[in-house]
Amino acid sequence: MEANTMFLIKALLLVCFKVCFTLASDPDPIQDFCIPKQITSPHHHPFSTNLPCKNSSELTTEDFIFSGLQTAGNFSETGLATVPVNPTTFPGLNTLGLSFVRADLKPGAINPPHYHPRATEVAHVVKGRVYSGFVDSNNKVYAKVMEVGEMMVYPKGLVHFQMNVGDVTATILGGLNSQSPGIQKIPSVVFGSGINEELLVKAFGLSLEQIGNLKKRFNPVMSNEH
């Protein structure tokens, strides 16, 4: 009886391991590629992997090429420009479990603390000097000034950040192991999401007025109203 029980436990653990591992990232493709047909349904999610694929006879080499990373995106008032690359902008990535981003930072500009709930990211500095790092679940920070040619990995779900510490605009190329990694920027999540002000006052030791100013800054709706 004990042998049968141990066998059953091992089998259940093996199944759980396989299922958990499978759910930990985008599902493996069941075909070489899938360039999706355009769907106009309002209920369609742009990152869905269940879209109907174009027939291979309709495809050309251009379907697998993206040229949008050659130049920087539009710079924000804070000096950050990003060009996200996912199946919406580059359909050739559909079902392949990948996405990319180009980030350009003017001198002194930052990419604020944020995280990707569904992806690990690697960041490669192609121009400039960038202070880059992440914080683990024990609240330990791993950070350094990265030079051209260096690469850093940000484990999935951990807060990470970048700051241009050089004299020229810095450029970073990032790769993520999900076609829909998601992003949550900490300042916007905390002060721009509608969390109760009293809770924020107690959590950060700031005055109600200071919390209100931060909410105006990071909540687009409030910014437009004021």
Binding-site annotation, residues:
111, 114, 116, 121, 160
Write out the two tokens for 200.
Answer: 């924020």
Backbone Cα Rg of the chain: 22
Q: Residues within the annotated binding site for oxalate? A: 111, 116, 121
Q: Tell me if 104 sits within 8 A of 75, measured CB to CB.
A: yes
**Measured distance CA(152)–CA(124) in Å, rounded:** 7
Q: Where are the alpha helices (DSSP H) in the chain?
A: 2-23, 186-191, 197-204, 208-218, 220-225
Helices and strands, number each (H, E), in the chain: 5, 10
Residue 10 has φ and ψ, to the nearest 5°, of: -65, -40
Residue with the two structure tokens 């360039």: 35
Q: Residues within the annotated binding site for Mn(2+)? A: 114, 116, 121, 160
Task: Report the interhelical angle of 208-218 vs 197-204 (nearest 10°).
Answer: 110
